[in-house]
Structure 1
Amino acid sequence: MKINEIQSKSILTPSSGFITKFTHTLNPYAGCAFGCSYCYVRQMPIALYREEEWGTWVDIKQNAADLLSKEIKKAKKKGPVTIFMSSATDPYQPIEYKARITRSLLEAMLIEKPDFLFVQTRSPLCTRDIDLFQQFGQSIRVSMTIETDLEYIRKAFTPSAPPIPARLKALKQITEAGVPTQVAIAPLLPCSKQIAKTLRRVTSRAVIDNFFMGDGSRGRRTEKMGIRNIYGRLNLLPWYHPNAYKVVLKLLQQEFEDVELLISQQGFMPNQ
């Protein structure tokens, strides 16, 4: 893994695309060590025009916390500030153990608070920051990506990402600490019929999408990355279909009172 320390010119980015329910995105790092095979960032300029392969490099934004307080204060002059962390990296990827950039950003936001903070991760490391999450009260939601409940599927699509049991345990711990949480089945991967019951034991809210709704190009980005081939090798091609999610959505609706399609752009914010 190639690690670089950089100085950013800015840290808050006005949101666009599928994240329009938020005013800004916040990425503590550029690059992501998890290197998920289907990650839509692989088809974005930050990855396409880099010599190193996606998943083999991470840039640490050393001055992120110093920039954040000033930028939130400036953004608030135009209206409410709602932040999605993170849209193009995982804020709790392995380097965060040492770099602690994400934790420093949380500390900065407790001084200059946004109106709402949404934390998206697939890493159990986020439990380290429960003490900070709790201080945001109801102005935060921690969302754990759990695309499948089957470890062999996780290993086929995201071999460098944390194991599913560890994510379930982490989400349960955060939920029991009184922090608003949700599970993000995003994107949906092949799973068992027990997935909804399993997830309901660790959180009370769920969102779901698939490659055709969630990659920002109706599945074209995913197709370019050859994800269909993984389904083929696993003899699971029927799962690679725009309507496959409907079966799992029905299972979720049987277990959860609060479940949304992520593409609806209403799967992030708390109910108003």
Structure 2
Amino acid sequence: MGIEIKEILAKNILTEAKGYLDVGYTHSLNPYSGCAFACRYCYVREMPIQRFKGILWGEWLEIKANAAENYRKEIIKLRKKKNPVNIFMSSATDPYQPIERKAEITRGILEEMIENPPDFLQIQTRGPLITRDIDLIVKLKEKCKVLVSITIETDREDIKQIFAPYAPGINLRLKALKEVHEAGIMTQASISPVLPFTPEFPKVLDGIVDHIWIDTLSIGDGAMGKRSERLGMPKLFEEHGHSGWYENNLHVKVEKYFKKYFSSEMIRVSKNEAFTRFQA
């Protein structure tokens, strides 16, 4: 799959939190626009940034070359208001795109955060490259609260290949999650969205996470499942014999199953959990 990559100068890097991020988070931060991982279920496919792009999702990527500089200016301005700054990175891309290995946009932002930290930072990624920046995250967690959340939708590589063939492998993500956790950084496995998994899935996560986040295509696409329907997800599940995994109450069943292995305090469900629980 070819991808068109270009550098841009972004007007700003921090965006006021809206929608599902509006509970507790004050801002989202996206070091890139577009995403090379091109997951078939990604709700961003149905957002204006993609619908009016004219290029298929997964075939374009914009590098925000001035991201760290913008962050520094914006956080200093926000600090003058003396309000909490709680950042979700990232909501409409992955901060660890393959090009990040060379571009180091996310790394540059983390370096700037050490000098001008937010109050809380959640790094949301499926990129094993995050292990490169453990040194910076360890320093940053001395300045503010940090949660590293790695998306692991399933423990089945064959299922991942159906829904996210260009995303990093499951075992690579699990290895990264373990490495981050062993560095003393608070970690979360984001089962988002829930895809068919084996009965052994909870055991795979045992000992390498502090939290588990459960989300589904019915409750987590920002439109109560309508975006996922437009993306053809019900049909895709059906084509591969997994219709039973596409139910409105799937999150209830998955939560119940994982509570057999983890304490209730460790498990959060997208539909009814608030950000503030991470602050405990």
**Which range, TM-score by smaller chain?**
over 0.9
Write out aligned runs for 1:1-272 (5 A): 1-20=3-22, 21-78=24-81, 79-137=83-141, 139-257=145-263, 258-266=266-274, 270-272=278-280
Native 8 Å contact 1:34 1:160 kept in 2: yes
Check 1:265–1:70 CA distance in 2 against 1; reply closer, same or farther (3 A cut). Answer: farther
What TM-score, normalized by structure 2, do the two folds share? 0.94
Q: CA deviation at 1:107?
A: 0.3
Q: Letter of the aligned partner of 1:136 in structure 2?
A: L
Deviations for 1:91-125, whole angstroms, at most 9, x for unmatched residues?
00101011000000000111111011110000100
Q: Letter of the aligned partner of 1:117 in structure 2?
A: L
Q: CA deviation at 1:265?
A: 4.2
Native 8 Å contact 2:152 2:173 kept in 1: yes
Q: Letter of the aligned partner of 1:170 in structure 2?
A: A
* Unaligned segments of structure 2, at least 5 residues: none
Query: Mean alpha-carbon deviation: is it higher for 155-164 or for 185-194?
Result: 185-194
Native 8 Å contact 2:187 2:208 kept in 1: no
Q: Letter of the aligned partner of 1:262 in structure 2?
A: S
Query: Mean alpha-carbon deviation: is it higher for 251-260 or for 207-216?
Result: 251-260
Deviations for 1:27-77, whole angstroms, at most 9, x for unmatched residues?
000000001001000000100000110000100000111110110111123
Native 8 Å contact 1:261 1:267 kept in 2: no
Q: Letter of the aligned partner of 1:15 in structure 2?
A: A
- Runs (4+) of structure 1 exceeding 3 A deviation are none
Provide the aligned length of Structure 1 versus Structure 2: 272
What TM-score, normalized by structure 1, do the two folds share? 0.97
Q: CA deviation at 1:247?
A: 2.5
Q: CA deviation at 1:267?
A: 5.5
Q: CA deviation at 1:268?
A: 7.6
Native 8 Å contact 2:153 2:194 kept in 1: yes
Give, in whole Å, the separation in 2 of the partners of 1:130 and 1:255. Answer: 28
Native 8 Å contact 2:31 2:64 kept in 1: yes
Native 8 Å contact 1:127 1:170 kept in 2: yes
Native 8 Å contact 1:43 1:221 kept in 2: yes
Check 1:163–1:144 CA distance in 2 against 1; reply closer, same or farther (3 A cut). Answer: same
* Unaligned segments of structure 1, at least 5 residues: none
Native 8 Å contact 2:32 2:63 kept in 1: yes
Query: Mean alpha-carbon deviation: is it higher for 7-16 or for 250-259?
Result: 250-259
Between the two proteins, what is the percent identity of the paired residues?
46
Q: Letter of the aligned partner of 1:150 in structure 2?
A: R
Check 1:169–1:94 CA distance in 2 against 1; reply closer, same or farther (3 A cut). Answer: same
Native 8 Å contact 1:35 1:55 kept in 2: yes
Native 8 Å contact 2:186 2:210 kept in 1: no
Q: Letter of the aligned partner of 1:122 in structure 2?
A: R
Give, in whole Å, the separation in 2 of the partners of 1:266 and 1:158. Answer: 28
Q: Indicate the SS of the match to 1:270.
A: helix
